[in-house]
Amino acid sequence: FASGETSEAPLELDAEVTSGDLGPLKRKRFDLLIVGAGLSGAVIAERCSSLGLTSLVIDSRPHVGGNCYDYVDEAGIRCSKYGAHLFHTKYERVWRYVQQFSEWLPNDHRVRGIVEDVEGEKKLVPIPPTQDTVNTLFPDANIKNEEDMEAWYASQRIAPPNNGVPANGEEAALSRVGPLLYERIFKHYTKKQWDKYPAELDASVLLRLPCRTTTDDRYFGDPWQALPLRGYTRVFENMLLQDPRITVKLNVDFFQAKKLGQLPKFGKLVFTGPIDAYFQGLPKLEYRSLRFEEEFIPEPTGGFYQPAFVVNYPSSDVDFTRIVEYKHVPNQPTPVKQGMVKGTRIAREYSSATGPPYYPVPNPENRALYERYRLLAEQEADVCFVGRLASYKYFNMDQAILNALEIFDTLKETGNLQ
């Protein structure tokens, strides 16, 4: 377990794990074949092992951890290969579960945005909006307390036309913050992120952010917000690589291995990849991908590039959505925390229609298409579809973990595990 460890680096994976060839495993039998070594696959493998079941976990990437994968760069800074991951949860079960695999450092995530004020000048403000955000952008609002903020919102908010229930992201945002903040913070950021305006997306997308009347500038409201002491990759290593009942094979493409008859015998298939890669013949589902433009800045003034871990750029005059500066988080290796690493690494985040799928795109058309896939999945005997990509749901990390735990519960209760 992580607490006794002294090394910051991820475990060295042996050639067997990374070879891309299933080799002698082809002749073995596993209770489960799990496709994907991300959160969902890791939870199912770990839980099944607790019942004495064996799993082969394969992933087409050269590492475990899915999009949570992080690593320490040459300068000694812990970076996330696929974008910042901030763990937060209100589910006690999830919080208790993840603590088995790491020590966790409390971390209240705070985001700043570069946003135009009433004069058209760019200001650095808290996101989601707080009293401070409104006072900085609109000094005349002169908000001193929650009552003032409520009154300001009341003067701004536009009730959704249809029985007060927002039918899409635009109605959701307008009903919470009104047009001034909608235009400045939500409309263009959303267009950049999804290549759709909020009106073309489900209300739930815009409702992910809390709406505050206080000065609380945390991004999330959950009671548990923390980062794993030695990074997410180590969490996965502790879940998967220490367990004799779990075999991990990286650089293995499931479809290719299946086609070539290289898969071993197994009882149950757990598929955590995109559901439209598993079933052919229907139109493809829509996803958004991300592209990161990384930059190492050798001697930033004051040691940092920007004042927060994440700074959002919600205006339409720059193409990226946000900049992440890794050095800000508390789970950096000790030399970074002690100020011994002079440089800093940032990643500008661009959204893209092409590339590996990161986000399902929540709107009525995609939901209807996914429903057709779901019906196919229901009929697929001995295959279980789990996770963000296989169930086409915009899960946060904790929701993905809870979902996998609950699917495990159901499989166990119905005696349907191998």
Shortest CB 173 distance to ligand UDP, Å: 8
Site string for ligand UDP, 253-292 (x = CB under 6 A): ----------------------------------------
Near ligand UDP by CB under 6 A: residue from 54, 80, 190, 233: 190
Six-digit token pair at 19? 């070879």
Write down the H helix ranges in 138-264.
146-156, 169-181, 188-194, 203-206, 232-236, 254-259
Residues 70-129 that bind ligand UDP (CB under 6 A): 113, 127
Near ligand UDP by CB under 6 A: residue from 129, 166, 314, 387: 314
Residue 189 touches ligand UDP, criterion: CB under 6 A: yes
Beta bridge partners of 352: 289
Shortest CB 312 distance to ligand UDP, Å: 4
Shortest CB 206 distance to ligand UDP, Å: 6
Contact (CB, 8 A) for 105 and 331: yes
Q: What angle do CA 330, 335, 340 make, to 5 degrees?
A: 115
Helix (H) or strand (E) holding 399, with range, is helix 397-413
> Considering beta carbons, is residue 196 or 412 the nearer one to ligand UDP?
196
Residue 38 touches ligand UDP, criterion: CB under 6 A: no
Give the whole-angstrom CA distance, residue 269 versus residue 390. 13
Give the whole-angstrom CA distance, residue 113 versus residue 105. 25
Phi, psi at residue 375, to the nearest 5°? -65, -40
How many residues of this chain interact with ligand UDP, rule: CB under 6 A?
13
Beta bridge partners of 365: none
Residue 385 touches ligand UDP, criterion: CB under 6 A: no
Six-digit token pair at 248? 């991990």
> Considering beta carbons, is residue 237 or 286 the nearer one to ligand UDP?
286
Give the whole-angstrom CA distance, residue 101 versus residue 320. 34
Residue 186 touches ligand UDP, criterion: CB under 6 A: yes
Stretch that binds ligand UDP, among 29-37, 88-96, 206-214, 265-273 (CB under 6 A): 206-214
Using CB under 6 A, list all residues that contact ligand UDP. Answer: 113, 127, 185-186, 189-190, 193, 205-206, 208-209, 312, 314
